[in-house]
């Protein structure tokens, strides 16, 4: 299939496409399942399954006993909705069958659909891809839908909904439109120089270019908040063997996710649990106790733990009460400003001598003031304070008020290239050179929203979706 882009930027499809179908609700036993069809054969297929010769009124749910058109066997009593294109999710004719959610019902209906000529099962993301190709949404909105389906916490949901509703696309389109306007002025001046502008047009439009450039750079310098909200805030638990790291993980996860034992060196691989802290997604990672060891497996565990700790957003260094204030040298090397010290196993002992702040130096010599919390992973003592502190840190790292943030590396890279082009464009007075740089910047932004040059990207972007979406 080919896609043409009109002058206004709306993609239009050329040529005949298959009618696609898929189970759009989740796999597994459920009360109701939704099977969707999209394409020119959707309506006729509905008529065949229901044994009727006219389409139901668009967008009205009807009671729909479904029969296998070949055998006339009754498969289910369902509900069906017909959407006449272009007023549908994909922009094509769409049919929804709301069947009972049993495996055999779903399989029976899907088998009937597969047997019909011109129908085939949808690829992952193909409905949303068609919606994009039919001009229903831009690429950032389509990516917002993917993020919404993957959202596990309220904050992730809010970000995805804003993107799905088009806020991010609108921001990028605004920049693109302003750059195109500046470009039009420059091009006009190249073709028809204005004698009243002896310095040429570039100094005139430079203010506009530089304000877009400034807004882009501010958007880029966001500490990756939006991207990290999608990925989850990474917290790694570190410390000497037997300090109680796995016990802490289990307490935070409220289940026995990791094996705990009195044997030092119990944990060798990393164990991850996903938590929702005040609506924000957190990945908590338990690691192998840091020590030099003759055991190759344990040594590899320590290497992985160290690497993971270096990439983390926050490090929890667990120290056994009986070792405090000595901090294990391996852990001390990983301490930086994003570290919290936890003195564990304070159950049944006096905590009077444990300070609330630790002052010291990081491995690279920075002066640090880190919070110290006495806890007992065994009894739960100190957990409330710890959870409160973690929630504050996670919010600081991921929360934001104000304009929609950058959410994907794909967008970041295109914007960085656009910003570089503008940088260059702002440094010349020669209209032809400035025009070329602005044109390249416009093109990069157009790739983000999908206005230009994206055919090669679509398989990658929509391949990440689930089938039926």
Ligand X SMILES: Nc1nc2c(c(=O)[nH]1)N(C=O)[C@@H](CNc1ccc(C(=O)N[C@@H](CCC(=O)O)C(=O)O)cc1)CN2
| Residue of the chain from 267, 376, 407, 449 that contacts Mg ion (CB under 5 A) | 267
Binding-site residues for GTP, in ranges, read 242-247, 261-267, 286-289
Binding-site residues for Mg(2+), in ranges, read 246, 267
435 token code pair: 């025009």
> What's the gap between Cα 99 and its chain centre?
31
Backbone angles phi, psi at 413, to 5 degrees: -65, -40
Q: Does 136 bind ligand X (CB under 6 A)?
A: yes
Per DSSP, helices labelled H in 78-221 are 103-114, 126-133, 139-150, 154-164, 167-191, 202-220
Q: Are strands 11-14 and 30-38 parallel, antiparallel or unpaired?
A: unpaired
376 binds, among ligand X, Mg ion, ligand GTP, none (CB under 5 to 8 A by kind): ligand GTP
Axis crossing angle, helix 139-150 with helix 431-449, rounded to the nearest 10 = 40
Nearest residue to ligand GTP, using CB? 289
Strand, helix or coil for residue 273: strand
Q: 84 vs 426, which CB is nearer to ligand X?
A: 84
Q: Does 133 bind ligand X (CB under 6 A)?
A: no
156 token code pair: 């992730």
Q: Does 21 bind ligand X (CB under 6 A)?
A: no
Maximum CA pair distance of the chain?
A: 88
Binding-site residues, in ranges, read 36, 96, 136, 242-247, 261-267, 286-289, 469
Stretch that binds Mg ion, among 1-9, 85-93, 115-123, 240-248 (CB under 5 A): 240-248
Long-range contacts of 427-432 (CB under 8 A, 24+ apart): 428/202, 429/199, 429/200, 429/202, 429/203, 430/200, 430/202, 431/186, 431/189, 431/190, 431/200, 431/201, 431/202, 432/190
Strand, helix or coil for residue 7: coil
Least distance (Å) from Mg ion to the CB of residue 260? 7
Binding-site residues for K(+), in ranges, read 242, 261, 263, 266
88 binds, among ligand GTP, ligand X, Mg ion, none (CB under 5 to 8 A by kind): ligand X
Residues 6+ apart with CB under 8 A from 148: 157, 160, 161, 164
Number of residues that bind ligand X (CB under 6 A): 8
261 binds, among Mg ion, ligand GTP, ligand X, none (CB under 5 to 8 A by kind): ligand GTP
159 binds, among ligand X, Mg ion, ligand GTP, none (CB under 5 to 8 A by kind): none
Least distance (Å) from Mg ion to the CB of residue 247? 8
405 binds, among Mg ion, ligand GTP, ligand X, none (CB under 5 to 8 A by kind): none
Lookup result for tokens 């498969």: 75
Stretch that binds Mg ion, among 15-23, 203-211, 244-252, 455-463 (CB under 5 A): 244-252
Least distance (Å) from ligand X to the CB of residue 129? 12
Q: 128 vs 287, which CB is nearer to Mg ion?
A: 287
Q: Alpha-carbon distance 174 to 445, whole Å?
A: 10
Near ligand X in 79-108, by CB under 6 A: 83, 86-89, 96
Q: Return residues touching Mg ion (CB under 5 A).
A: 245-246, 266-267
């Amino acid at each position: 299939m080919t896609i043409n882009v009109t002058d206004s930027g709306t993609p239009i499809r050329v040529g005949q496409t298959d009618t696609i179908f898929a189970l759009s609700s989740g796999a597994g036993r459920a009360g109701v399942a939704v099977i969707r069809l999209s394409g020119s054969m959707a309506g006729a297929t509905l008529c065949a399954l229901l044994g009727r010769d006219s389409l139901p009124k668009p967008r009205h749910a009807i009671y729909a006993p479904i029969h296998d058109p070949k055998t006339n066997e009754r498969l289910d009593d369902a509900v069906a909705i017909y959407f006449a294109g272009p007023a549908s999710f994909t922009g094509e004719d769409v049919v929804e069958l709301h069947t009972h959610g049993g495996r055999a019902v779903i399989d029976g209906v899907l088998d009937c659909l597969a047997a019909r000529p011109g129908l085939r099962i949808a690829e992952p993301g193909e409905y949303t891809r068609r919606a994009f190709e039919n001009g229903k949404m831009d690429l950032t909105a389509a990516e917002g839908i993917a993020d919404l389906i993957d959202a596990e916490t309220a904050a992730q949901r809010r970000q995805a909904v804003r993107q799905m509703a088009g806020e991010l696309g609108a921001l990028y389109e605004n920049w693109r439109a302003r750059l195109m306007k500046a470009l039009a002025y420059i091009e006009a001046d190249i073709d028809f120089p204005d004698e009243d502008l002896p310095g040429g047009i570039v100094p005139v439009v430079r203010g506009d270019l530089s304000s877009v450039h400034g807004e882009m750079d501010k958007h880029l310098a966001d500490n990756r908040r939006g991207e990290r909200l999608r990925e989850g805030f990474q917290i790694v638990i570190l410390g000497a063997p037997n300090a109680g790291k796995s016990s802490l993980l289990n307490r935070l996860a409220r289940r026995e996710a990791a094996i705990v034992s009195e044997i030092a060196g119990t944990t060798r691989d990393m164990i991850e649990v996903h938590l929702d802290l005040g609506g924000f997604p957190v990945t908590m990672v338990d690691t192998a106790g840091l020590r030099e060891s003759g055991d190759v497996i344990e040594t590899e565990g320590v290497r992985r733990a160290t690497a993971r700790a270096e990439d983390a957003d926050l490090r929890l260094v667990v120290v056994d009460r009986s070792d405090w204030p000595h901090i294990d040298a391996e852990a001390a090397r990983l301490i930086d400003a994003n570290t919290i010290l936890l003195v564990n196993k304070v159950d049944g002992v006096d905590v009077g001598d444990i300070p609330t702040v630790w002052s010291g130096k990081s491995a690279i010599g920075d002066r640090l003031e880190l919070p110290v919390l006495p806890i007992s992973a065994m009894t739960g003592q100190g957990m409330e304070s710890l959870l409160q502190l973690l929630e504050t840190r996670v919010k600081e790292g991921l929360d934001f008020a104000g304009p929609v943030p950058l959410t994907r590396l794909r967008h970041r890279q295109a914007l960085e290239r656009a910003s570089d082009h503008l940088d260059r464009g702002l440094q010349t007075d020669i209209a032809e050179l400035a025009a070329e740089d602005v044109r390249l910047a416009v093109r990069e932004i157009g790739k983000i929203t999908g206005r230009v040059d994206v055919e090669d990207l679509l398989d990658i972007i929509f391949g990440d979706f689930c089938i039926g979406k």
